Amino acid sequence: MAVTQTQAPTSTAQRILDVAEQLVQSRGYNGFSYADIAGELAITKASLHYHFASKAELGEALIERYSARFTEALERIDSTIPAARAKLDAYVGLYTDVLRGERMCLCGMLAAEYQTLPQPMRGSVIRFFDGNVAWLASVLADGQSDGTLSFDGAPNDAAQTILSSLQGAMLVARPYGDLARFQAAAARTLASLKTP
């Protein structure tokens, strides 16, 4: 990205995170090394270790940044979209945008490698999903309360189903390189939330 007079240059740590995020979202956590990042950025591995002493530390920073950005996106949805159904459509849009960029949800990719992740990263992945379920459950409860959404079971159960369906739909659409496959699955998932 070109730096204009009004933009500060991107820090080395930020650039490292940017490249590492792209690598995790396309290859997985176990599919890249510090040498890959160093080569992409034309810096030394020593410089990488200066900013992130270990790959586990880098992984934690990636999840923290990704989760913070995702939370900000959910807050924007809450502040700009009043209707529960429209909020759910916007939520699906977040996943669609990631897949359109030929990437996967960072935490979805990490969940596929869960057993091989360092322990602190495991907890962070779970917190990301728990935060998503809590947000979805709140939206579903609002829609149920105002009579615009109807579903079986508790809002938390329906929220887990939505999250699982979207993550799974991303995984299945990926090898086909078919965004429409994901969109169709997401539309069916949301259609199951009947309007009374």
Q: Is 11 left (phi over 0), alpha (psi -120 to 50) or beta?
A: beta
Domains of the chain: 60-191 (1.10.357.10)
The total of other beta-carbon atoms located within 10 Å of residue 93's CB is 14
Q: Are 49 and 132 in contact (CB under 8 A)?
A: no
Would you state the pLDDT for residue 130? 98
CA distance 63 to 188: 29
Tokens read off for 150: 């109807």
CA distance 141 to 41: 46
The reported pLDDT for the residue numbered 2 is: 30
CA 64, CA 70: separation in Å to the nearest integer? 10
Q: According to the model, what pLDDT value does residue 195 have?
A: 73
pLDDT tens for each residue of the chain, 196 residues long:
232 334 445 699 999 999 999 999 999 999 999 999 999 999 999 999 999 999 999 999 999 999 999 999 999 999 999 999 999 999 999 999 999 999 999 999 999 999 999 999 999 999 999 999 999 999 999 999 999 999 999 999 999 999 999 999 999 999 999 999 999 999 999 999 977 6
- Give me the torsion for CA of 119, 22, 14, 117, rounded to 10°: 10
- C-beta pairs of 158-162 under 8 Å, 24+ apart in sequence: 158/193, 159/132, 159/133, 159/134, 159/135, 160/133, 161/189, 162/88, 162/136, 162/189, 162/190
